[in-house]
A and B are shown apart, each in its own frame.
Chain A
Amino acid sequence: MTDGDRTLTRRETLRAAVALGGSTGLAACLDLEGQPTEAGGTDRGTDRPAGTESEAELPSRQHAWNEFSRTDEHGNPVPARHHVLLLADYVGDGPVDDGDRTQAENAFRELEETYRWESDGLLFTVGYSPAYFDRYDEPLSESVDLPQPAALAPFEDPSFDTPDLLVHLASDRASAVLEAKQALFGELETANGSEVTETIDGTVELVDRRTGFIGAGLPAEHDDVDGVPDGAVPEDAPLFMGFKSGFRQNQATEDSVTIAEGPFAGGTTQHLSLLRTELDQWYNQDSREQRVAKMFSATHAAETLVEGVGDNLGDSSLVAETGVADRVEDDAFEKGVVGHAQKLARARDEGGDPRLLRRDFATVDDGQTGVHFLSLQEGIMDFIRTRNAMNGDDVANVGGVGTKNNNGILQYVTTVRRGNYLLPPRSKRSFPRPS
């Protein structure tokens, strides 16, 4: 595959193929994945694992991904490298019919039988928006905190996503996320070597398709888009801003984001926003120390706690261990800067644990850099609280910190879309009733 006069590397091609989608994209991927990998590459070789035949092997939570993912040397779950988000509307008005419900369940079940439930196979979730539940007369069970999306800062003006459902496909293999989408929509006869017989085609209409990636090397290879200077992203950075994210100690556990009671016990809520990143100043003007101070804290910068992309941090960003979360206001006053992670650590729950399980990933959709910021939390209020901590309006007039200037990474990030979803437990993932 070539892009103008430049020959694309294997990793670039796989990412590009996911963005392209369709049969062309898929063919390109399968072709590449059939070839031996480059040294150190983690887009794995030929044999894709077969699907999960026995339902007993599958978790009852759709969001049970961690134990089915690789872990790094520090025990952090490694997110799947390739992602596709499918936003779709149910074709009918009013309550969903049982026939459609069964058809959808069969299609999701067939996906599981086609791909092994693991990051080397395929992990996926199906979520439903408040707009979806509006079709029913009964309100959504009160045990679920799922408001309509809203602007969450005085300085943002996002559009709102209101599709009925959101399907999130994730895999280390670019081919799997592409092929799974086509299988789901009945565009293929066989997928991963087995026949495609069930599809959701006819019950839903696709309204948007978004793609992304996360993992060492992927952002650096896709810096030829707007929003990031060429060659600026560190070679081994998993995300465009150049640092590793998602340490085990800085994430909510799957258990803690799970809804405990009511008809959706075993489910969780999902927030998806699209953040655009403008990294010209980040890489061309800010120094490394300034980047570390803005992403982590002034202490992290002064004491050089972060090496490279932050692998040395192990399984914790050290925001709790260093006590910086308790020094946000002091740092604003004395140091003139507060870090993103430092501010966010103030939004922890009563037990001192983060409220969000972040599963965000980078994107170059529409030729611009950004983040599909996807997070799981027990209720959307957990997200709102956390986002408020990020806004840092309590320190926006303390010392050297402004509304965005020196206020974590706010200067570089713009929220352009927001949407909220319920991820029911697996047993109710197909067009759930509201209670």
Chain B
Amino acid sequence: MSPRRNPTRRDFIATSGVALGVSVAGCATGDDAADETPSEAAPGGTESTPEGTEQGRGNELPTASAQERPLVHIPAHQDGMRMVGMEEVGPYMVAMSYTLLHDFWILTGKEKIYVQIEDGQGLHLMATVWDPEYNQRIPLGSPPVEVRAAESGDSVTKKSLWPMLSQQMGPHFGDNVAFPEEGEYTVQLSFDPVSARQLGEYRGRFTDAVDAEFDLLFRTDITNNIRERFVDEAGQAGALEPMETDMQPDGRLADAASLPGEHGGIVESGAAEFVVQVLRRAPAGIDSSGPYLAVSARTPYNQYPLPFMGLRATVANAGEEVREPLKAAVHPELGYHYGAPFPAIAMGDEVTLSVGAPPQVARHRGYQTAFLEFDDTTLTLGDGT
């Protein structure tokens, strides 16, 4: 990527020569706006528009370039972020940060909805949560957040953050929040017990509800200084690098070579990678002492976990077939993965993976067309893939 001036969002609006309303609403006028960004903007908070409907597309046909674009691609701009604070609560480290208001897509089943940015001042709030002992990010569902004005205690917003995936932040929880005015605010987050299975050393670790609180100063001169860089490779296959900070793990899962168990292979579907491992003994927390099939479903390039997906495995050996849903689980070395015990599984078996519901995480730009449609894929365990 060639060095160039880092314009702020303000500069962008000033120099791009488009009407202000459109720039703010689209926030992506450069690259991928045409196919995904609805043309109608409605005032007041973040708004969604059904995608693929007349209204959603603003009667525009998808552009050819959008159709050719790889499922996982580099978005048009890269944003800075600001850390609000970090706090250790219960078994978690929680980092609260924010960036400029962002557009994104939320998913219910396969129904994808574009959430656009609205006029007005606000921030895209983000929380990342990890276990400080093994540095694994922990999937907590949709944590409730309440923002209050520090002085008056008046509630500014109360909602649940969406589980989200972005190329720079990896898995996090976030949403846009409008702030009525500059000033000091408190942000309170609540985390429900983890619903994924907790395995190995993680057994019983994430079972309490905990709260975290942060002080946040909202000032437009600070937000205006959040850097945005326009990326030349926009639209090409690839992903922006994970945000580097010394303070928190970057959200990548371990390489296949570092995962526990025997490596069964890697298959690809829906632009996702599925790393297949067989543990000779099921980890603590699984009601079996036999072998355990673990599938680490991840994004290409950045190797982020793909949570909240329906994943099933069919294991075939000499005409015998066993079909089981794989349950989401967290484990210190495997990280977030899907797994189930298969008493007779062994290298040489054929494993077919099929996906039910696609990963129910909201997607930031660059991931919005990926991880939605999956074909069944089969591999022979240990066959060199």
Contacts and interface: CB of A to CB of B under 8 A. Distances in A.
A288 B157 CA distance: 22
Contacts of B328: 397
**Most chain A C-beta atoms within 10 Å of own C-beta, residue among B109, B142, B193, B328:** B109
Interface in B106-133: 106-111, 113, 115
A287 interface: yes
A151 to B, nearest CB: 10
B193 to A, nearest CB: 5
B48 A411 contact: no
Nearest to A291: B108
B159 interface: yes
A287 B48 CA distance: 7
Contact of B108 (A226, A293, A396): A293
Contacts of B47: 284-285
B113 A405 contact: no
Interface stretch (B67-75, B93-101, B255-263, B357-365): B357-365
B108 A399 contact: no
B252 interface: no
A333 B308 CA distance: 9
B357 A230 contact: no
Contact of B113 (A280, A287, A332, A398): A287
A97 interface: no
Given A398-B310, A399-B357, A287 B109 contact: no
A286 B158 CA distance: 16
A421 to B, nearest CB: 28
B141 A336 contact: no
A353 to B, nearest CB: 30
A334 B311 CA distance: 9
Given A155-B193, A229-B45, A402 B325 contact: no
A287 B51 CA distance: 10
Contacts of B155: 226
Contacts of B327: 397-398
A258 interface: no
A293 B107 CA distance: 12
A234 B95 CA distance: 38
Contacts of B348: none
Contacts of A285: 46-48, 106, 113, 115
A400 B162 CA distance: 13
A289 B53 CA distance: 12
**Most chain A C-beta atoms within 10 Å of own C-beta, residue among B113, B163, B308:** B308
Contact of A404 (B107, B109, B192): B192
B384 interface: no
A281 interface: yes
Given A285-B48, A285-B106, A287-B48, A400 B310 contact: yes
Contacts of A400: 109, 308-310, 356-360
A402 B142 contact: yes
A393 B207 CA distance: 13
A260 B328 CA distance: 46
B144 interface: yes
Interface in B171-207: 175, 192-193, 195-197
Interface in A397-417: 397-406, 411-412, 414
What secondary structure prevails in chain A residues at the interface with B? loop
Interface in A368-404: 393, 396-404
A399 B110 CA distance: 13
A280 B45 contact: yes
B17 interface: no
Interface string A284-323: 1111111001100010010000000000000000000000
Interface string B54-82: 00000000000000000000000000000
A393 B308 contact: no
A398 B309 CA distance: 8
B247 interface: no
Nearest to A367: B155
Given A280-B45, A400-B360, A336 B142 contact: no
A367 to B, nearest CB: 10
Given A400-B357, A402-B308, A280 B157 contact: yes
Contacts of A337: 108-109, 357, 360
Contact of A227 (B141, B158, B193, B356): B158
Interface string B306-320: 001110100000000
A153 to B, nearest CB: 9
A335 interface: yes
A229 B44 contact: yes
A403 B45 CA distance: 26
B209 A154 contact: yes
B153 to A, nearest CB: 13
B160 interface: yes
B159 A290 contact: no
Nearest to A397: B195
A155 B143 CA distance: 10
A284 B111 contact: no
Interface in A5-44: none
Contacts of B85: none
Nearest to A157: B209
B30 interface: no
A284 B46 contact: yes
A404 B108 contact: no
B50 interface: yes
B108 A294 contact: yes
Contacts of B106: 285-286, 290
A278 interface: yes
A289 B50 contact: yes
Contact of A333 (B175, B193, B197, B356): B356
A154 B357 contact: no
Interface of B: 44-48, 50, 106-111, 113, 115, 139-142, 144, 155, 157-160, 162-163, 175, 192-193, 195-197, 209, 308-310, 312, 325, 327-328, 356-360
Q: Sort A-B residue pairs by CB-CB distance and give the 4 closest, nearest first.
A: A336-B357, A399-B310, A400-B357, A400-B360
Given A287-B48, A406-B308, 17 more contacts: A280-B45, A281-B175, A284-B44, A285-B47, A333-B357, A336-B358, A398-B310, A398-B327, A399-B325, A400-B109, A402-B139, A402-B142, A403-B142, A404-B141, A405-B163, A411-B160, A412-B160
23 contacts: A154-B192, A154-B193, A157-B209, A229-B45, A280-B45, A281-B159, A284-B44, A285-B106, A288-B50, A289-B50, A290-B108, A332-B357, A333-B310, A333-B325, A333-B356, A333-B357, A336-B109, A398-B325, A400-B356, A401-B360, A402-B163, A403-B140, A404-B142
